[in-house]
Amino acid sequence: MAHESTWSKYRVAIVGAGPAGCICAKYLSEAGFEITLFDKGKFLRTLLPTGGGRCNLAHAEYDFRELAKNYPRGEKFLYSVFSRFGTQDTIDFFKNIGVKTYTQEDNRIFPVSNLATDVREKFLKSISKCSFAREGVNEISPISNGWKIQTNNNSYLFDYVIVATGGHAGYELLKKLDIKIQPPTQALVGLTTEEDLSQLSGVKVANAEVKIDKKTYKGDILFTHHGVSGPVIYTISSIYARKEFPYEMSFKFADFTDMPQYFLEKSRMEVCNQLKPYVPKSLTKYILTTLGKEPDIAGTWLGRTSHQKLLNTLENFKLHINGKMKNGEVVTCGGVDLKEINAKTLESKQYRGLYFCGEVLDIDGLCGGFNLQNCWSTGFIAAQSIIEN
Ligand SMILES: Cc1cc2nc3c(=O)[nH]c(=O)nc-3n(C[C@H](O)[C@H](O)[C@H](O)COP(=O)(O)OP(=O)(O)OC[C@H]3O[C@@H](n4cnc5c(N)ncnc54)[C@H](O)[C@@H]3O)c2cc1C
């Protein structure tokens, strides 16, 4: 049966118990606020798959402007946020709740346990004084001097509401408040191609160069059943998240400038074996097939023209991108328009007492701990603004 709880001055509703909502809960409950965390699912479950189960919780970039450069959406907005809560604050926060961290060679920061389950457990313990409502919120509405939260079975009254519903759901709630949303689309995903690459599925190429719109990106590539994936593709899918399909990308898989002249033609060895120090055998075989040659052909049988064509193709392999895959880190490009939000407080410009943090905002970062950093930093600022109000 629906009920309305009694009014109390310092009650805060946090809608969404993901990383962003939970860090707000920690700071606000410490400051003596009465917190109710609403989530339709298991609390902090979205932390579990992060970093492949290891939880890449931050990136070792300590200059706030440099850190902000890793956000294709939100860079400037994040200056004031990161200047007040940056990477070192994240490390200190986790140390305080019993999670020691270390920095990997590539500057990604992980818990020493390498376990997202451990981070989740300690995090939840640190906010155990909060009330946990396992309920989906259907409506958030302003009332005189506060806010009403409506779930399927209950309605509640609060002084403040923090929306931390993430990128995958929650926009419906905000439409009723007439808050402008930048249309959501996926970022940090693999890309599908017009070309059938199923033969190459599972093949990895280290340190390839990828060209798109005259810009070059470098990194590892993984061919998948329907296209291409891997770190450099995730970066591109993020930077070009709103680019219209289809578009062309070209790949330089290897640099043959140091290869002895006529190397291939002079050898009886199979071409794919000769090129093995440069590119995976299966990739050479695939390209030979597209050139109408036997995949196991020996160098002496290849002929000078085909030899040159093969090398040219490996140095300038074109693919036509026609969509996004569903795997990857999958963060949302889009969300609450940053023009709606005060960057210093994370309060809505339209509504007093309504705050936003985490991925629900139109902020998303590259791979490497940047998306969680956004949650920790914006979560801290939203909580701090309520504390200082
Ligand atoms: C596979 C994977 C791996 C990733 N790895 C990393 C990584 O290693 N490092 C990194 O920095 N980032 C990583 N990310 C991104 C990162 O997990 C997200 O950016 C982050 O979880 C966003 O946190 P959030 O609190 O804003 O939202 P979420 O984590 O999405 O949490 C939002 C919560 O709100 C709840 N909710 C939504 N609507 C309602 C409603 N109406 N009522 C009640 N509850 C509601 C949801 O159930 C959810 O629990 C990864 C993402 C994925 C998918």
Over the stretch 151-161, which tens digit does the pLDDT of each residue have?
999 999 999 99
- pTM > 0.85: yes
pLDDT at 304: 82
pLDDT at 8: 46
Q: 82 CA to middle of ligand 1, Å?
A: 20
Is the predicted pLDDT of residue 28 greater than 70, yes or no?
Answer: yes
pLDDT at 329: 65
pLDDT at 265: 66
203 in Cβ contact with 280 (< 8 Å): yes
Residue 43 Cα: closest atom of ligand 1: 49
Least confident among 19-23, 111-115, 286-290, 326-330: 326-330
Q: 280 CA to middle of ligand 1, Å?
A: 36
pLDDT at 77: 98
The arithmetic mean of pLDDT across residues 246-250, rounded, is: 97
Residue 328 Cα: closest atom of ligand 1: 1
Domains plus CATH for the chain? Answer: 11-180+337-388 (3.50.50.60), 187-325 (2.40.30.10)
Mutate to test the pocket of ligand 1, among 37, 39, 90 (most ligand atoms within 8 A of CB): 39
pLDDT at 302: 85
pLDDT at 262: 58
Q: How far is CA 12 from the centre of its chain?
A: 28
Is the predicted pLDDT of residue 319 greater than 80, yes or no?
Answer: yes
Least confident among 50-59, 240-249, 279-288, 299-308: 299-308
Read off the pLDDT of residues 265-306 as tens digits, 9 standing for 90 and up. Answer: 667 889 999 899 899 999 999 999 999 999 999 888 888 888
Enter the tokens of residue 325.
Answer: 């895959």
Res. 7 pLDDT band, cuts 50 70 90: very low
Least confident among 16-20, 147-151, 253-257: 253-257
- The rounded mean pLDDT for the chain is 93
Q: 329 CA to middle of ligand 1, Å?
A: 10
Read off the pLDDT of residues 320-340 as tens digits, 9 standing for 90 and up. Answer: 999 999 876 689 999 999 999
The arithmetic mean of pLDDT across residues 356-362, rounded, is: 98
Strands (E), the chain: 11-15, 34-38, 58-59, 101-103, 108-111, 131-133, 137-143, 146-151, 155-158, 160-163, 181-193, 204-212, 215-223, 227-229, 247-252, 317-336, 354-356
pLDDT at 268: 83
CA distance 381 to 377: 6
Sign of the Cα pseudo-torsion (322, 323, 329, 330, in order): positive
The arithmetic mean of pLDDT across residues 228-247, rounded, is: 97
369 in Cβ contact with 109 (< 8 Å): yes
pLDDT at 3: 36
Q: How far is CA 345 from the centre of its chain?
A: 24
